């Protein structure tokens, strides 16, 4: 799906979130409330910088992991819509 948008993710590799990564980050964006809960359980100090990606659109983005193409396409649509306000606010 990303290739069709001209984005090459072939070099991307997932990595485990650590307290060190959270301390390094200035902003942490997650897709679902339970993701935020997991981040805060790992490091409560991340509270003021951890937000739902859909914060400005009042949208939760269901994780499409292990779901079909339709779920991934919907997640991508929601992500694209949710990123725009963040770019505007942070830009």
Query: Which residues sit opposite 28 in a β-bridge?
Result: 50
Confidence tier at 77 by pLDDT (50, 70, 90): very high
Q: CA 63, CA 70: separation in Å to the nearest integer? A: 12
DSSP calls for 13-67: ------HHHHHH-S-EEESSHHHHHHHHHH-GGGGGGEEETTTTTT------TTS
Q: Determine the average pLDDT of the residues in 72-83.
A: 94
Instruction: Quick: pLDDT tens for 4-62.
Output: 888 898 999 989 999 999 999 999 999 999 999 999 999 999 999 999 999 999 999 99
Task: Give this prediction's pTM.
Answer: 0.85
Confidence tier at 80 by pLDDT (50, 70, 90): very high
Q: CA 3, CA 90: separation in Å to the nearest integer? A: 26
> Can you read off the two tokens belonging to residue 59?
């949208």
**What structural domains and CATH numbers belong to the chain?**
17-90 (3.40.50.2300)
């Amino acid at each position: 799906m990303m290739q069709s948008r001209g984005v090459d993710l072939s070099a991307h590799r997932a990595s485990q979130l650590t307290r060190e990564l959270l301390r390094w980050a200035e902003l942490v964006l997650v897709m679902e409330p339970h993701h935020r809960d997991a981040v805060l359980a790992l490091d409560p100090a991340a509270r003021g910088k951890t937000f739902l990606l859909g914060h400005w659109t009042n949208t939760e983005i269901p994780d499409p992991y292990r779901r079909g193409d339709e779920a991934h396409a919907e997640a991508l649509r929601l992500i694209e819509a949710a990123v725009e306000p963040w770019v505007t606010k942070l830009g």
